[in-house]
Amino acid sequence: DGGITQSPKYLFRKEGQNVTLSCEQNLNHDAMYWYRQDPGQGLRLIYYSQIVNDFQKGDIAEGYSVSREKKESFPLTVTSAQKNPTAFYLCASSGQDAAEAFFGQGTRLTVV
Amino acid sequence: GENVEQHPSTLSVQEGDSAVIKCTYSDSASNYFPWYKQELGKGPQLIIDIRSNVGEKKDQRIAVTLNKTAKHFSLHITETQPEDSAVYFCAASYANTGFQKLVFGTGTRLLVSP
């Protein structure tokens, strides 16, 4: 089945630690995105990548980093510089119509 | 920058009633308007979308209308069922660097009571 796979589903992090969230897609999509979702605030764009080996900051990139070494993969690292990392993180991808995005099932990150 | 406002934030209806969710956008260049349904603990699922060259689109019990002049669009769900209960997000496309991205509304929690 084609789709977007995020792992893990739940992730716990101690303060001061970096953690990496995985996102893999087998839809052959060029573009991939990371969003953060907080209660009552909708989805906010963290980073996006239009093509392999290229990525751009979104609206809330501070404290996050990404890489795009393969078309299928777009991992997100939440660094210790992110002051309020507890949130639901969503990965998405889109094909030729860059605006038509399809989402993974999300990773819930909790800082303990 | 681009902004999308969504109302209401919560909506409670009885099974069989209709539900309407409204969104307004700020960028007159936006040309793509999707609607997503998100169930608890899951990712958003695209349920219907509309482009700026049409005013209305239907898919069974759901429909979306677009008024480009007023810069607003709406989701209409008829004959609601309990399984329609979820959070619904609207979005509008924008392209500040030539690449189309989406900006989302803050969501509407729909509760359909049997």
Contact A103 B106 (CB under 8 A): no
pLDDT of A1: 57
| Residue where the block lists tokens 């893999």 | A24
**What is the per-residue pLDDT across B50-105, written as a single tens digit (0 to 9) for each?**
998 889 999 999 999 999 999 999 999 999 999 999 999 999 998 767 778 899 99
* pLDDT digit string, tens, across residues A2-61: 699 999 999 999 988 999 999 999 999 999 999 999 987 789 999 999 999 999 999 999
From CA B109, how far away is CA B12, in angstroms rounded? 8
Helix %, strand %, coil % of chain B (to 5): 5, 55, 40
Name the closest residue on chain A to residue B96, using Cα atoms. Answer: A58
B23 contact A CB<8A: no
Q: What is the mean pLDDT of residues A86-92?
A: 96
